[in-house]
Amino acid sequence: MTTPPRRPRLALPFTILTERDTVRLVAGEDFRYTLTGPGLDGWLPAWLAGLDGRTLLAEAIARLPEAHRAAARQLADQLYGERVLIDGAASDAHTPAQVRLVPDGSAAWAIEWKPLGAGRPLPAFCQDRLDYEEALCFNCRCLDAGTAWLWASTGPMGRAYVSPLFLPDAGPCLSCLLNHFRRLSPAPELYDALTAHARGGGEVVPVAFPEPGIAIVQQLLLWKAALAAEPEPSSALYRLHVVESAPLEVTWHRVFVDPECPDCRSRR
């Protein structure tokens, strides 16, 4: 398997202290890390400070003089292992853009829905059934096309999902999200069974969802499309929203990259 690309940033707001051949990272009283080596104080502090969670590690290393690149690779591996460096989130890769929501997919509630707006098309894959196969195919098409996208589903029937804004080159993808769902499910085998059923040409039956809940799903999609244009990334834009029909409740949840994801891991 290929190694997923790293976009490193410091895990904490470290103060960087230097002395001859020594670099110390200090965050509060409890987090201290010391690195030593010939000449580290001359290049490492500025390099670490420039790791913003957006730039690929390979690009950050390439900006260094050739003499420091091997040491930078070794130190990056060491700091990742100690959790001093972590990968940036999708919000770290946020690039503001005016977008126009373009509904796609088989959901009955999206077929006649034509949101107004101007800007670059932002596909939103809308479902009213548990057809994971068509969702994953759409996921792969967007990754291959290099476009951002959203996903919304009322297929679970008791709840609806509105995805974070998925980016083609950073953060989790829809396959990462569904893999997390599978791990949390009391019947994970149903995910594979439903996918195989649809892949073999079987029908996945649509389910009903309350009209007010559908309206909330649509408004969340529109709101996220509007947030994509904001210069500062909104945390809500990069979170999963869950609309629960019984308690009339909307919750939000962070979505993590699946390091074993079969879709985005091989495409980045």
Residue by residue, DSSP assigns 250-261 as EEEEE----TT-
> What pLDDT is recorded for position 3?
55
Residue 1 binned pLDDT confidence (cut-offs 50, 70, 90): very low
Residue predicted with more confidence, 94 or 116? 94
> What pLDDT is recorded for position 2?
47
Question: Residues spanned by CATH 3.90.930.60 within the chain?
Answer: 8-88
How large a percentage of the chain has pLDDT more than 90? 81
- List of long-range contacts for 43-49, beta carbons under 8 Å, 24+ apart: 43/68, 44/72, 44/75, 45/16, 45/18, 47/72, 48/10, 48/14, 48/16, 48/23, 49/16
How far does Cα 187 stand from its chain's mean position? Answer: 25
> What pLDDT is recorded for position 268?
63
* Domain 92-254, CATH number (from 3.40.50.720, 3.40.30.10, 3.10.20.30, 1.10.10.10): 3.40.50.720
**Cα 142 from Cα 97, distance rounded (Å):** 17
* Residue positions counted in the chain: 268
**Cα 231 from Cα 91, distance rounded (Å):** 11
Mean pLDDT of the chain: 93
The CA–CA distances, whole Å, from 83 to 14, 27, 28, 32, 80 equal 13, 13, 16, 12, 5
Residue 54 binned pLDDT confidence (cut-offs 50, 70, 90): confident
**Cα 145 from Cα 90, distance rounded (Å):** 18
**pLDDT tens digits for 144-196?**
999 999 999 999 999 999 999 999 988 999 999 999 999 999 999 999 999 99
Please tell me the number of Cα atoms within 13 Å of 53 on its side-chain side: 17
Q: Counting runs of H as helices and runs of E as strands, what totals does the chain give? A: 8, 11
Indicate if the pLDDT at residue 60 is higher than 90. yes
Residue 4 binned pLDDT confidence (cut-offs 50, 70, 90): low
CATH number for the domain running over 8-88: 3.90.930.60
**pLDDT tens digits for 102-135?**
999 999 999 989 887 789 999 999 999 999 999 9
Indicate if the pLDDT at residue 65 is higher than 60. yes
Question: Residues spanned by CATH 3.40.50.720 within the chain?
Answer: 92-254
> What pLDDT is recorded for position 29?
85
